[in-house]
Amino acid sequence: MASLLYIFPHPDDESFGPAPALARQRREGHDVHLLTLTRGEATKERHKHGLSKEEMGVARFNEMQGVAEALDLSSMEVLSYPDGRLAAMDPRVLEQTLIDHIRRVSPDVVITYAVHGISGHPDHLVSHAVLKRVFCALQDETPEEAPRRLAFFTLPPPSPAADRPDHLTHSPVEAIQVVVDVSADDLARGEDALACYETYRDVVEAHQPLNTVRHDGVCFELFGEAFDEPLTDLTAALPAHAIAART
């Protein structure tokens, strides 16, 4: 069995697409950990509920406790870095936070957003850049202890069977190296995780974020790895040590 660590900037990032893959990985016996960098307090959805940023952060933190149960996560940590302002931070602070957490969890695979961030949110882009930098640094410093794979959650090109919001960005087919097929039970657990976000109910209903997963699977890019055919799981064909693309 393997250990996977998902690192995202906001509450609900783990559920707006990847959640059924997390459910499958837990069902198959892997350790699945989640690190969320902010409490998502800056979202405009707070105005619908008459909540301050602090109150929204508390509400979303509490919602995530239900997500951890719905997905049977091995561990979850939610940090309090400023939502929407990660780009203004000293990246070395974020890098050290990720390094410390990775060393504690010791995952085989680390996962965050693809370079385009899917929605283009600046916090998504920062998470991608910082984790890529950390992955390479750990490989240089302690390759035997570094994660063995870096993966990026992404969307495939749109298909007629799966509607999605027009503002979302996808990866080209040739960049997608893993397509995780999920069962009806995995999808149901993903829906249960989404349902925990009561403060985001309107967004979930409007966007139906698991439509793409239901039809096309959960898609990931891999950093520094390429296969003739996409893998069917993030833990398949793991290299002995971390691999980073060099130019």
Q: What confidence category does residue 245 fall into, taking pLDDT thresholds of 50, 70 and 90?
A: very low
pLDDT of residue 224: 95
pLDDT of residue 200: 94
- Name 35's bridge partners: 7, 77
pLDDT digits 0-9 by tens, 130-180: 999 999 999 999 888 899 999 999 999 988 777 788 889 999 999 999 999
Separation between Cα atoms, residue 158 and residue 170, nearest integer Å: 8
94: CB partners within 8 A, 6+ apart: 37, 81, 86, 126, 130
| Assigned fold of 3-222 | Rossmann fold (3.40.50)
pLDDT of residue 246: 42
**pTM metric for this prediction:** 0.96
Total residue count of the chain as it appears in this document:
247
Domain residue spans of the chain: 3-222
- Is 112 in contact with 152 (CB distance < 8 Å)? yes
Averaged pLDDT, 93-105: 98
Closest CA to 60 of 199, 209, 205: 199
184-195 and 53-70 are packed helices; what angle lies between their axes, rounded to 10 degrees? 160
Report in angstroms the alpha-carbon separations of 67 from 14, 23, 191, 206: 9, 11, 10, 20
Q: Where do runs of H (alpha helix) occur along the chain?
A: 19-27, 45-48, 53-70, 91-105, 122-141, 184-195, 201-207, 211-216
pLDDT of residue 247: 38
162: CB partners within 8 A, 6+ apart: 211, 212, 214, 215, 216
Higher pLDDT, 247 or 200: 200
Per 3-state DSSP, what percentage of the chain is helix, strand, and coil (rounded to 5)?
40, 15, 40
Looking only at the bridges linking them, the beta strands covering 149-154 and 218-222 are antiparallel
- Name 110's bridge partners: 5, 150
122-141 and 91-105 are packed helices; what angle lies between their axes, rounded to 10 degrees? 60
Closest CA to 108 of 179, 33, 217, 175: 33
Report the amino acid identity of residue 90.
D
Q: What confidence category does residue 84 fall into, taking pLDDT thresholds of 50, 70 and 90?
A: very high
